[in-house]
Amino acid sequence: MFRIKICGVRLKSDIEAVGQSGADAIGLNFFPPSVRYVDPEATSTKDLSGAAQARSLLRVGVFVNESTETLKRIAQTVGLDVIQLHGDEPVGQATELIAGGWKVIRAIKLPRVELSPEEIDAIAAPWIQAGAHLLLDADAGAAHGGSGKTLHWESVKTWAATHPDWTWTLAGGLKPENIAEAVIATGAQSIDTASGVECPKGVKNAQRIQNFASNSGLVG
């Protein structure tokens, strides 16, 4: 679906930095409590989407516990390519969206401890069967992502080896300083970050975006 997604962009300068870095996707955060929230009704948000489209960046909308009708309305209004479910949504919602022609990413929030493939499967398999793309994130509780906490990477690698045909994205505490290690440790071919390329929190930093993409080894 994508190699590198920079999530929680809020400014056109963020879009420019993402495009210049070689990353190929952006995330627009529609969860109101988040520091990265953008108003789906604002002209500036539609402008962000247009700027991303002009750079051929995949536009992902990040949502938490919204109704299916709200998801569709915002996706159509803003011009999203993908809907990311990042809350406590049921599998049936993904099934309904996919049946309607939408691409869906499901963020599954895993405990930050060693896990067996069977334990990860118990959470992941229903979403794969529904046709969703998996994003593996660290459980951040009520924050619903962006916590800067990492997963147990060896567990991810062991689990992924049992499902070589499944596509998935690694998230959770990824930043320029650890992304090379994370990719090697897990075998990830798709990565996602939000807080890892910010300084201060909630403000994207162009140099950190560039370093994240370059250090990942996934550009190009």
Q: Is the pLDDT of residue 20 over 80?
A: yes
DSSP string of the chain?
A: --SEEEE---SHHHHHHHHHHT--EEEEE--TTSTTB--TTSHHHHHHHHHHHHTT-EEEEEESS--HHHHHHHHHHHT-SEEEE-SS--HHHHHHHHHTT-EEEEEEEE-SS---HHHHHHHHHHHHHHTPEEEEEE--GGG-S---PPP-HHHHHHHHHT-TT--EEE-SS--TTTHHHHHHHH--S-EEESGGGBSSTTSB-HHHHHHHHHHHT---
At residue 145 the predicted structure's pLDDT band, cuts being 50, 70 and 90, is low
CATH of domain 4-216: 3.20.20.70
pTM for the model: 0.95
Residue 149: per-residue pLDDT: 84
Residue 106: per-residue pLDDT: 98
Residue ranges per structural domain of the chain: 4-216
Residue 92: per-residue pLDDT: 98
What would the pLDDT profile of 35-82 be if each residue is shown by its tens digit?
A: 999 999 999 999 999 999 999 999 999 999 999 999 999 999 999 999
Q: Is the pLDDT of residue 146 over 90?
A: no
Give me the percent of the chain exceeding a pLDDT of 90.
95
What would the pLDDT profile of 98-108 be if each residue is shown by its tens digit?
A: 999 999 999 99
**Mean pLDDT for the stretch of residues 189-202:** 97
Average per-residue pLDDT for the chain:
96
